[in-house]
């Protein structure tokens, strides 16, 4: 996904002089040509994330479409107040692009993990939040983001599904079933499909967590029992509120699966081992879904 981001952004910088990119050392080796060719709108500030966000906001205030990119904890958590004030409060908006989703690189430990990123961005007004599940989904989402002036967070992962899905912004039906509806967000679709194999549940996919497709969920729930499971590759229950809002007038049950909130996992190892800890491996998802639905 990062390579697609680099390719599309580099093309956009060449094609559209509105597009600006600010980075903080991370991925600089992939943007050497753009940095050299366009020093007035492609900037590497070094390992300075507060300046990265402020400089990008300054570029946005001078009419640029500013893309801000680094590893997720240093993009969303470390300069969070800069993101809040230097963009939204000023009435200008960025395209934030992160790499290093949740525990993409378990060997790096907690310092390089920020599974609360989507919840934090969602706490700021107006953000569209994309969670592509395949590298081929990056380009249409990024091109649409660059063409708009709205706030966008594009969350890239090293993990992806075996095949791309339509990145429509809405919920895409993948499988039909009657006992409930399972929503897979981004790169958890393969695990969700494996986990629900043989179960009588509907499966929906989306690469866009916000705005949440309330109408799509409502339509799916109208065709199945009102039992909703959301499987997200970041903080568990990040979308519980939007699901509740979508079904406010309908008695329903919901279950959130995602990265655990109750404890920090002090462990390295592999992504599969971390999936198991968080209940995001196929066996964990299956057990949770069956328990929830009594299936």
- Check binding of 257 to other proteins (CB under 8 A): no
Judged by CB under 8 A, the chain residues 28 through 57 that form the site for other proteins are 39-41, 43, 45-46, 48, 50-51, 53-57
Among 1, 26, 59, 192, binds other proteins (CB under 8 A): 59
Among 20, 99, 243, 280, binds other proteins (CB under 8 A): 20
Return the range that interacts with other proteins (CB under 8 A); candidates 59-67, 128-136, 211-219, 224-232.
59-67
Question: Phi, psi (5° rounding) for residue 18?
Answer: -70, -30
- Check binding of 126 to other proteins (CB under 8 A): no
- Check binding of 86 to other proteins (CB under 8 A): yes
Size of the site for other proteins (CB under 8 A): 31
Residues 63, 64, 65, 69: is their CA dihedral positive or negative? Answer: negative
Rounded to a whole number of angstroms, the CA Rg of the chain reads: 19
Structure-token match 């997720």, residue found? 72
Task: Tell me whether residue 63 or residue 291 sits nearer to other proteins (CB atom).
Answer: 63
- Check binding of 58 to other proteins (CB under 8 A): yes
Question: Phi, psi (5° rounding) for residue 233?
Answer: -85, 25
Return the range that interacts with other proteins (CB under 8 A); candidates 61-69, 148-156, 162-170, 201-209.
61-69
Rounded-to-integer distance, Cα 224 and Cα 179, Å:
6
Task: Tell me whether residue 41 or residue 130 sits nearer to other proteins (CB atom).
Answer: 41
- Check binding of 168 to other proteins (CB under 8 A): no
* Binding region for other proteins (CB under 8 A): 20, 22, 39-41, 43, 45-46, 48, 50-51, 53-64, 66, 81-82, 85-86, 89-91
């Amino acid at each position: 996904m990062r390579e697609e981001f680099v390719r599309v952004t580099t093309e956009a910088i060449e094609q559209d002089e509105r597009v600006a990119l600010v980075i903080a050392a991370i991925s600089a080796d992939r943007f050497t040509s753009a940095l050299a060719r366009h020093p007035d709108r492609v900037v590497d500030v070094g390992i300075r994330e507060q300046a990265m966000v402020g400089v990008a906001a300054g570029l946005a205030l001078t009419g640029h479409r500013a893309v801000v990119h680094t590893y997720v904890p240093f993009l969303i958590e470390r300069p969070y107040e800069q993101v809040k004030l230097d963009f939204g409060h000023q009435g200008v908006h960025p395209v934030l692009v992160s790499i290093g989703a949740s525990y993409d690189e378990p060997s790096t430990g907690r310092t390089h993990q920020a599974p609360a990123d989507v919840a934090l961005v969602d706490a700021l007004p107006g953000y569209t939040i994309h969670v592509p599940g395949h590298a081929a989904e990056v380009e249409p989402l990024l091109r649409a983001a660059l063409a708009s002036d709205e706030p966008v967070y594009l969350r890239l992962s090293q993990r992806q599904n075996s095949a791309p899905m339509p990145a429509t912004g809405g919920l895409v039906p993948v499988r039909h079933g009657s006992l409930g509806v399972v929503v897979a967000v981004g790169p958890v679709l393969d695990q969700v499909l494996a986990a629900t194999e043989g179960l009588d549940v509907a499966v929906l996919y989306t690469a866009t967590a916000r705005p949440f497709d309330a109408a799509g969920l409502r339509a799916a729930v109208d065709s199945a029992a009102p039992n909703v499971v959301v499987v997200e590759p970041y903080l568990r229950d990040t979308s519980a509120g939007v699901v509740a809002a979508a079904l406010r007038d309908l008695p329903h049950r919901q279950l959130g699966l995602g990265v655990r909130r109750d404890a920090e996992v002090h462990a390295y190892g592999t992504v599969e081992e971390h999936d198991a800890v968080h209940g995001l491996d196929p066996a964990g998802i299956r057990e949770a879904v069956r328990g929830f639905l009594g299936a």
